[in-house]
Structure 1
């Protein structure tokens, strides 16, 4: 490469500083490519660029990029749910902790207002000539009768809910739906669980890059070919990403070094199993597996018809018991057919209004299910191989893409060094 190097070793006017900064430049390349690779794992949440010639569920398009996790939010959320439902929690077992009697008590304030409105409006609509002339104490007695019947209604209903929870609640659908609708939720889980590992990936890029830079400096000093800097930039970009990922997840099991005489080594992420378990459980239960989200999923999810069939069966029994005392009076006034329709209306209104007061049960349900403690304890008990599956899927499928992108960026910096520094 004629003219690029003006001197060789021993010549006093050698621009030694250009070579001395090469390891630092290489370290910055390693840091920068690792930092960018992490950012490209999580961001942007939606595709940035012109979305043409892009394979379905792949982050890279011909002219643009979408974060790997946001691109595969449904698949990643499904993997998380698979882990939870097969290794961490048993949905039926968790819901069995609900005490129907206690559930009925916490719902009472909402039921008082709900039943008062339903009875008054239904009676006024179907039997106005009778209801309007009844003394206030008789009307109040009807509402009190409803409140007396409500605990039995809710208790038997919740017993059925516990028994058939798998038929009315689709946990996997709920998690995927939330994560796809708000991709940052899934990012939060992985970013908080792998916070220390991601910081290690960034900073280790500098150290590994610096070491490679020393080799690069020596080779380029004695062999000043044009391709050395871009080639080493490519190698640094690839190697720093590759080595960092390997150190985080491998070895899976504690491995003795020096025949056990020195110390045992294990992937950095795997060594933090207890701490990560606490973070994973907390983030999931506070952002996705909330009581509100679970009830919403039951009421609006793909199995909602099963839930409302269950609710209808119990509501009809409740209405029969509630209206039983008024039956002779109402039948005499408007006939048996209209009385039957009135019962149906009360049942329908009860079904429609109950979801609106279910929030009264949120605090008790959260306490009773105790999801955070359950998930945390189970996760701490996973084997190292099972635990690896919590974070590794973030990188595993597109690991090669991230490493290659690091190499390309490193090569670009190598060209910059070549033409602007030398």
Structure 2
């Protein structure tokens, strides 16, 4: 039987198929993560879909809210309890690291408010009385901080929503959720890219045989579509299936991502705690999040009790100078300013709090012992939601390459 084309043209078919498999997987992966925002002309676009009529947004950035919600739902239900985490803080140690900055802040606030409400009376108060206020503040600030921290620990779920904080961070800074998936699945993504070539080459051998016996024009684009489709599909399946280890001919089979549970747990805990669940972000959520009003009310109550003890010696003079109503208004002003200024000094507690909470250690150790079916939920949402789109994208890119191959090599 005579060859219709040169031998090297046939030999190029599996090689090109391998390259198609590799290229489609690389492009599909890139389009999973990028661009972070929609690029193109958004004439028409369905809600929560990466594609528009003319343009594209990465699948994970498009689904950032849903994927982050799924991820942190798993964390807050299975990996840690915020109540248990905050119970690790020792109120006495917290008070010790905050004592000096709180004393300075209270001194500043009281001077500022007293000069505003009763400047003449305040400036005429004997030095001994002022010194007594300083001594009282020094004695009482530790108790104020200890009582406040105990109250906050008992009601931590009323003052901060960790899941909401984390999801909001990922939606507002989409690179965060992208980084979580990329670093946790780094080895899997290398596998996806390489496997595209190997699977594509094997399918290319079949394609070459078909083309040899039946060189119809439609073969190459159809084969290209199948190569792009199947290589993406197989790569995704090998990563996540089987979920549970299965014995087969003396070998243990399990999804390659699931085999790396201990390693991924280390990476996941580190990235999450460095990028999202760090103590600065947690305090930021306490001060400005959905439940911040509860925190402000709690801090106000403790500040008013503290202020009562500080001003007990000058209360008669203050009331005589401005009246009861104005005196109460002055105390409210002190409490309000403390609530406003606490975010400026809370960083004094960061080092101790970060160490005491030990969130990274907790997340890492709990994640290592998750059942495989639950552990799979860490990375799989990046693909599961739009798996068919990824596979179809590979097929379309493969068909385009098949058409190019037809009109350049075999025209």
TM-score, normalised to structure 2's length?
Answer: 0.97
CA distance in 2, matches of 1:137, 1:209: 88
Q: Which residue of 2 aligns with 1:305?
A: 293
Q: Which residue of 1 aligns with 2:324?
A: 336
1:331 Cα deviation (Å)?
2.9
1:32 equivalenced with 2:26 (yes/no) = no
1:233-260: CA deviation from partner (whole Å, max 9, x where unpaired): 01100010000000000000111112xx
Deviates more, 1:312-321 or 1:191-200: 312-321
Q: Which residue of 2 aligns with 1:237?
A: 228
**Contact 2:258–2:372 (8 Å) recurs in 1:** yes
CA distance in 2, matches of 1:136, 1:366: 41
- Aligned counterpart for 1:248 among listed residues 228, 239, 242: 239
Deviates more, 1:181-190 or 1:349-358: 349-358
1:409 equivalenced with 2:397 (yes/no) = yes
Q: Which residue of 2 aligns with 1:399?
A: 387
CA distance in 2, matches of 1:251, 1:335: 77
1:129-179: CA deviation from partner (whole Å, max 9, x where unpaired): 232233445423323322321111111111110011111111121111111
Secondary structure of the 1:49 match is: strand
- Aligned counterpart for 1:349 among listed residues 321, 330, 337: 337
1:85 Cα deviation (Å)?
0.6
Matches within 5 A, 1:104-119: 104-119=95-110
Q: Which residue of 2 aligns with 1:257?
A: 248
Q: Which residue of 1 aligns with 2:121?
A: 130
Q: Which residue of 1 aligns with 2:368?
A: 380
Matches within 5 A, 1:8-407: 8-9=2-3, 15-258=6-249, 262-407=250-395
**Contact 1:115–1:143 (8 Å) recurs in 2:** no
**Contact 2:60–2:67 (8 Å) recurs in 1:** yes
**Contact 2:76–2:82 (8 Å) recurs in 1:** yes
CA distance in 1, matches of 2:98, 2:161: 24
1:330 Cα deviation (Å)?
2.5
1:110 Cα deviation (Å)?
1.5
**Contact 2:241–2:255 (8 Å) recurs in 1:** yes
**Contact 1:111–1:147 (8 Å) recurs in 2:** no
CA distance in 1, matches of 2:135, 2:177: 47
**Contact 1:312–1:347 (8 Å) recurs in 2:** yes
1:294 Cα deviation (Å)?
0.6
1:270-328: CA deviation from partner (whole Å, max 9, x where unpaired): 00000000100000000000101111111111111111111111111111111112223
**Contact 1:197–1:248 (8 Å) recurs in 2:** yes
> How many pairs does the alignment contain?
410
**Contact 1:169–1:297 (8 Å) recurs in 2:** yes
**Contact 1:119–1:143 (8 Å) recurs in 2:** no
CA distance in 2, matches of 1:137, 1:42: 66
CA distance in 1, matches of 2:41, 2:374: 39
1:128 Cα deviation (Å)?
2.1
Q: Which runs of 4+ in 1 moved over 4 A?
A: none
Q: Please list every run of 5 or more consecutive structure 2 residues that lacks an aligned counterpart in the other structure.
A: none
Deviates more, 1:72-81 or 1:319-328: 319-328
CA distance in 1, matches of 2:324, 2:216: 101
CA distance in 2, matches of 1:285, 1:274: 17
1:394 Cα deviation (Å)?
0.6
CA distance in 2, matches of 1:35, 1:131: 72
Secondary structure of the 1:64 match is: strand
**Contact 1:274–1:380 (8 Å) recurs in 2:** yes
TM-score, normalised to structure 1's length?
Answer: 0.94
1:125 Cα deviation (Å)?
2.1
1:96-150: CA deviation from partner (whole Å, max 9, x where unpaired): 1111111111112311321121121222222222322334454233233223211
Alignment RMSD: 1.4
CA distance in 1, matches of 2:319, 2:52: 71
